Structure 1
Amino acid sequence: MTGSTTPAPKAAVRDLREAIELLKAHDGQFVSTAVEVDPEAELAGVYKKVGAGGTVQRPTRVGPAMLFENVKGYDIPVIVGVLASRKRIALFMDADEEFLGRHMLDAMQHATDPVLVDSAPCQEVVQLADEPDFDLRTLLPAPTNTPEDAGPYFCMAVLRGTDPETGQHDVTIHRLCVQGRDEISVFMQTGRHIGFMYEKYDAMDEPMPITISMGISPVEYMAISFEPPSTPYGFDELEFAGGLKGSPVELIKAKTVDEAALASAEIVIEGEIQPKRRVAEDQHTNTGFAMPEFPGYDGVANPSLPIIKVKAVTTRTNPILQTLVGPGEEHVSLAGIPTEGSLTQALDDALPGLVTNVYSHSAGGGKYVGILQIHKRDHNDQGRERQAALVAFGAFPEMKHVILVDDDVDIFDTDDVLWAMTTRFQAERSVIPIPGVRCHPLDPSADPEFLWTNPDHGISTKVIFDCTVPWSLRDRFIRAPFQDVDVTRFLPDWAGD
C-alpha cells in the first residue's frame, strides 16, 4: 500500500514455535507439565484455574500459556493460552501493550499480498482420509471444555476458502466439532465471509474446498480476527497479516483439495464443506449444548450445521495442537484487540483527536463492552463524547455498553473506571439508553423473556455510561496531585510502572 505515514511493523515471531521460545524467555509467561491429562474436560479445567481469565467462572486469572506434554490417548501435546494476555500479544508484535488496536490499525497501511511457497514444514507428515486406519478422533487431541460439550472441538481453527464467482479469498476462525472419523461440523455465524462463500457453493450443489490451519503464528491469528468495517468482503486478512508481521504470509497448496493453507501451521486439515447436508451439532451426545461461548455461558447446540468431509491431515514432525478455553482471555485478545483497531479507525475519521484510546473490556468478551478515553479540548467538545459512543455503536454493532471516561482515567484499570463511574456519574444525566437495537445473539439477556419489550432474540437496549466531567466543571474534578518520584532510589529492584 502506498502513501504510508507510519513505519512498517516487524513482529518478533514467525510461527508458534518461535512464540513458545519467546515466552520461555520471559518470567511468568509460560508453564509446562508432563503429568498425563485427559482432553475431555480435565485439560480445560486445569487451565481455567491457571490462566484462562476472561468471563470464565471464578476462580480464574490471567496467567501463563500452558503446554500439556502428555495428553491421554495421544502422542501430540496441546498448548493453550498463547494469546490469553495483552502482554504476550505485545511481545509477539513488538508493540505497546496499551495501544495494540492502534498498532494493528497502522499495520493496515503496510498490507502485503501472501506468497505461495513450494514446500513447508506443515506438510512433513501426510495422512490421507481414505487410508483404513485414519480417524480424526484418535489422530488429533481435540479437547472438550466441559462435560456437557457436544463433542471435541478445534477452537483455533483458521478456515481458508475462495469465492466461486469472484476468486476472492477469505480466512476466518470458526467453531469446529469432530463428528466422526472424517467428518467435522462447522458453525458459521450469519454475516461471516466464509459462510457467504459457502452459500454460493450450496446453491450450486457443489462441495466447497477448504483448508483448516491450526497452530499458526500468533500475529497471523490476530490479523485474521480483524472484522468489518476494517476488513470488508473481498479483503484477504492475510494481506493485513503480512503488514502486521513485516513480511508476506506464506501459503502452501493443499495436497488433496484446490485450496491453500498457512505454511506456518503445526496442523492442517484439508476437506470440503458438503452441500445440502446438515447435522445436529450434538448428534452424538444430545446434551443440548455446544461449548462455552465468550459471554461465559454454555452455547446452545445448533440443530443444523454443514459438514466438512475431511480428505487429509498434514502436520509438522512432532506437531503441537493449539486450543483455547472458550470464554477466556484468549477470546478477548482475538476479538477485542481487533475491535479496538476498528473503533480507533472509525473514531479518528469521525472525531479526530477526541478519543485518545479504546479498550474492549474482558467482561464483555472483547465484544460487548467498550471503554473510550475522551480528551476534551474546549467547550466545543462538550457533547461530542456522546457522539463518539454513537460512532462506536455504528462501527461495531455487536457492542452493547460504551463507558466514557476522561483522559486522566486508566481505561485498563477497572478500579479506576469504576471510580470515575462513582465520582463523575449521576444516573439521571449520565445513563443514555438506546432501546430496541440489534446486538449479539449470544447475550442471554437479549431476549423477550428477559425484557418483554424486546421484539426478538438478539435485540438489546444499548447504553452509554457518560463518566466524563462537564467541561464547565473541569476545575472541580482535578485528581490529588502527588509528587512524581523515582521509586528505584528507595527500592532498587522495584518492578512497578
Structure 2
Amino acid sequence: MREFIEMMRQKGRVEDIREPCSTVFDAPKRSKASDRILFFHDLEGHRAVMNLMADRSALAAALGVGERRLVPHLAGAAYAGDVVDAGALADPQPADLSRIPIMKHFPGDAGRYITSGIVFSRAGDMENASIHRMMVLDEKRVAARLVEGRHTHTMLKEALARGEKLPVAVTIGTHPLVTFAACTRVPQGKELAYAAELLGGTLAVRECANGVLVPDAEIVLEGYIGAERAAEGPFVDITGTYDPVRQEPVIEFTHMYCKPDPIYHGILPAGDEHKLLMGAPYEPKIYRAVGEVTGVCDVLLTKGGAGYLHAVVKIRKNTQGDAKNAIMAAFAAHTSLKHVVIVDEDIDIHDPTDVEFAIATRVRGDTDIMVITGVRGSSLDPTRLGDGTNVKVGVDATMVMGKEDEFVRAGWE
C-alpha cells in the first residue's frame, strides 16, 4: 500500500493533512469533501489514509492500463496468479483495537466501524477473502455483517456444524489491488490467486498462528468466529441510507501484527471508494455475460446508482433483439442490479448527458422497456419487499437496425 501511495503522490493525487484530526466524524467529513487520497499524519496520534482508490483513474493506475480499457482488461482474468508462501508472520502482540484509529463515520452509526478490513477465513485447504463491515464491541471483539449465502457465512455454518470455530485474519492496509480482488466474485477460493494476477503474477503470503494466510498489510488481526452473536447496526451502507440492526456473528481477536508506525486505511461508507469497490468488480462479470449474447464494448456501474444498482452497457448489435438479450444477461450476471440501460457504440457511457440523450431519442416506452417483477434484488435497496424481492427495469436505448441513418447526429468529423 505504501508503494501505491507514493506512486499516486508522484501523480499529484495525495493530500497530506498534518494538523490533528479526530476519528469521530472529522476525517470522514474531509474524505467526503475531497477527490484526492487523504493522508492523515495525526489522526488522534496515528497515521491513516482515506480515498485510497476512490475513482477509476486510481484503479487504472494500479493496474497500469488506460482508464477506458479497465473493463475489457479485467474481463480477461484467469484467476491464475502464483501465491507464494513466505513463512510465518513474526512478532504477534495481544489484540487491542484501541491501538487503531477506527472511525465513527455518521451520527446515526451504532459505533466505530472497521470498513476496509479484508476477512481471510480458512477451512482445510479452502481459504476465502472478502470485505465485511465490522462494528467494534470492545478491545478484542467486533460484530461482522456476514451476508447470508456468501462464502464466509457458509464457511462459518460448516465450521459450527463440526463443533469448531472458524479461524480468520483481518488485514487493514493492503495494496488496493488485493482489496479489489477481495471484493470480486471469483471462483471459490481464488481471491489470492486473482490478486496475484492483478499485481503482475505473484503474491507473497504469510501464515498466522491460526493457519490463515495473509498478504502484506499494515495491520493484521488474528482470531476466530464462533457461535456468539451481537446486535450490529445501524450503519450507513452503499445507498447513503441506514442499514437496519441485525444479530450478526462476533469475531474475537487473539493477536495482532503491526508494521512500525502503521498506516490505517478507512473507507467512507457510501463514499466514492466504497462505490467503486462495490460496483467495479461486477463490470467485467457483466461484460463477459453480455458478450455471450451480442457484441459488447463496455460496461459502467454508475456513481448516481450508488455504484451498484444502475448499469449502462454499450453493445454492437448483430440482430434487432440483441439489446433485450443483453438486458437479461446483465441481470443474470449481477443479481443486485436494479436498472440497466443498453446503448449503441456512439454513446459515451461515462457521460450521463449522452446516456440520457440515448434514452430520449431511441426509446419507445411501449416497446423498449422491460419490467421484471418478483425477482431477487439487493438487500441494500430501501424499496425491497420483506421477502427480498423487487422490480427490475431494462431499457433498450439502441437504434432500430436498418434505420441508423435516421439517428445520425450532426457534426464536423
The reply to whether TM is greater than 0.5 is yes
Give the letter for the 2:43 counterpart.
V
SS of residue paired to 2:349: coil
| Cα displacement (A) at 1:386 | 0.7
- In structure 2, stretches of 5+ residues that fail to align are none
- State the partner residue of 1:237: 191
TM-score, reference length from structure 2:
0.96
Distance (whole Å) between structure 1 residues aligned to residue 376 and residue 284 of structure 2: 22
SS of residue paired to 1:428: coil
Pair 1:411-2:349 in alignment:
yes
- State the partner residue of 1:391: 329
Give the letter for the 2:213 counterpart.
A
- State the partner residue of 2:139: 181
| Cα displacement (A) at 1:88 | 0.7
- State the partner residue of 2:392: 462
**Residue 300 of structure 1, aligned match among 231, 244, 248:** 244
SS of residue paired to 2:137: strand
- In structure 1, stretches of 5+ residues that fail to align are 1-15, 51-62, 130-134, 282-288, 448-455, 484-497
- State the partner residue of 2:293: 351
Distance (whole Å) between structure 1 residues aligned to residue 69 and residue 375 of structure 2: 29
Distance (whole Å) between structure 2 residues aligned to residue 158 and residue 407 of structure 1: 37
SS of residue paired to 1:433: strand
Are 1:331 and 1:365, in contact at CA under 8 Å, matched by a contact in 2? no
Are 1:332 and 1:362, in contact at CA under 8 Å, matched by a contact in 2? yes
Pair 1:146-2:130 in alignment:
no
Are 1:156 and 1:214, in contact at CA under 8 Å, matched by a contact in 2? yes
Pair 1:290-2:234 in alignment:
yes
Pair 1:367-2:367 in alignment:
no
**Residue 33 of structure 1, aligned match among 17, 23, 46:** 17
Distance (whole Å) between structure 2 residues aligned to residue 224 and residue 105 of structure 1: 16
- 1:98-117 equivalence runs, <5 A: 98-108=68-78, 111-117=80-86
| Cα displacement (A) at 1:119 | 5.9
Pair 1:161-2:130 in alignment:
no
- 1:73-88 equivalence runs, <5 A: 75-88=45-58
Distance (whole Å) between structure 2 residues aligned to residue 312 and residue 290 of structure 1: 28
Give the letter for the 2:296 counterpart.
V
| Cα displacement (A) at 1:290 | 2.6
Runs of 4 or more consecutive aligned structure 1 residues displaced over 3 Å after TM superposition: none
| Cα displacement (A) at 1:367 | 2.1
Distance (whole Å) between structure 2 residues aligned to residue 374 and residue 236 of structure 1: 29
| Cα displacement (A) at 1:396 | 1.4
**Residue 440 of structure 1, aligned match among 358, 367, 378:** 378
Give the letter for the 1:476 counterpart.
E
Distance (whole Å) between structure 2 residues aligned to residue 291 and residue 99 of structure 1: 34
TM-score, reference length from structure 1:
0.80
| Cα displacement (A) at 1:65 | 1.0
**Residue 192 of structure 1, aligned match among 142, 150, 155:** 150
Pair 1:22-2:7 in alignment:
yes
Distance (whole Å) between structure 2 residues aligned to residue 374 and residue 336 of structure 1: 19
- 1:246-325 equivalence runs, <5 A: 246-254=200-208, 256-262=209-215, 264-275=216-227, 277-281=228-232, 289-302=233-246, 304-325=247-268
| Cα displacement (A) at 1:76 | 2.0
- State the partner residue of 1:56: none
1:293-337 per-position Cα deviation (integer Å, ceiling 9, x unaligned): 0012121122x1111111111011110000111111212221222
Range with greater deviation from structure 2 (171-180 or 428-437): 428-437
Q: Aligned pair count? A: 413
Distance (whole Å) between structure 2 residues aligned to residue 291 and residue 341 of structure 1: 29
| Cα displacement (A) at 1:117 | 0.3
Pair 1:340-2:283 in alignment:
yes
Distance (whole Å) between structure 1 residues aligned to residue 387 and residue 109 of structure 2: 23
Distance (whole Å) between structure 2 residues aligned to residue 318 and residue 439 of structure 1: 43
Are 1:111 and 1:244, in contact at CA under 8 Å, matched by a contact in 2? no
Kindly report the root-mean-square deviation, in angstroms, between the aligned alpha carbons of the 2 structures. Answer: 1.6
1:235-286 per-position Cα deviation (integer Å, ceiling 9, x unaligned): 32111111111132211111x4222222x201100011122x11112xxxxx
Give the letter for the 2:100 counterpart.
L
| Cα displacement (A) at 1:432 | 1.4
| Cα displacement (A) at 1:473 | 2.0
| Cα displacement (A) at 1:475 | 0.5
Give the letter for the 1:461 counterpart.
V
Distance (whole Å) between structure 2 residues aligned to residue 360 and residue 318 of structure 1: 37
SS of residue paired to 2:225: strand
Are 1:111 and 1:241, in contact at CA under 8 Å, matched by a contact in 2? no
| Cα displacement (A) at 1:427 | 2.0
**Residue 128 of structure 1, aligned match among 67, 91, 94:** 94
SS of residue paired to 2:243: strand
Q: Which of the two has higher C-alpha Rg?
A: 1
Range with greater deviation from structure 2 (318-327 or 427-436): 427-436
1:136-194 per-position Cα deviation (integer Å, ceiling 9, x unaligned): 1x210111110211111111111111235xx2111111111110111111111012111
1:398-429 per-position Cα deviation (integer Å, ceiling 9, x unaligned): 11111011110000111111111112223222
Are 2:82 and 2:201, in contact at CA under 8 Å, matched by a contact in 1? no
- State the partner residue of 1:57: none
Distance (whole Å) between structure 1 residues aligned to residue 407 and residue 379 of structure 2: 39
- State the partner residue of 1:69: 41
1:325-378 per-position Cα deviation (integer Å, ceiling 9, x unaligned): 111121222122210111112222x225x221111111223321111102124x
- State the partner residue of 1:473: 403
Distance (whole Å) between structure 2 residues aligned to residue 335 and residue 384 of structure 1: 27
SS of residue paired to 1:69: strand
Are 1:168 and 1:236, in contact at CA under 8 Å, matched by a contact in 2? no
- State the partner residue of 1:492: none
Distance (whole Å) between structure 1 residues aligned to residue 171 and residue 59 of structure 2: 20
Are 1:272 and 1:309, in contact at CA under 8 Å, matched by a contact in 2? yes
**Residue 30 of structure 2, aligned match among 43, 46, 52:** 46
| Cα displacement (A) at 1:443 | 0.5
Distance (whole Å) between structure 2 residues aligned to residue 103 and residue 337 of structure 1: 12
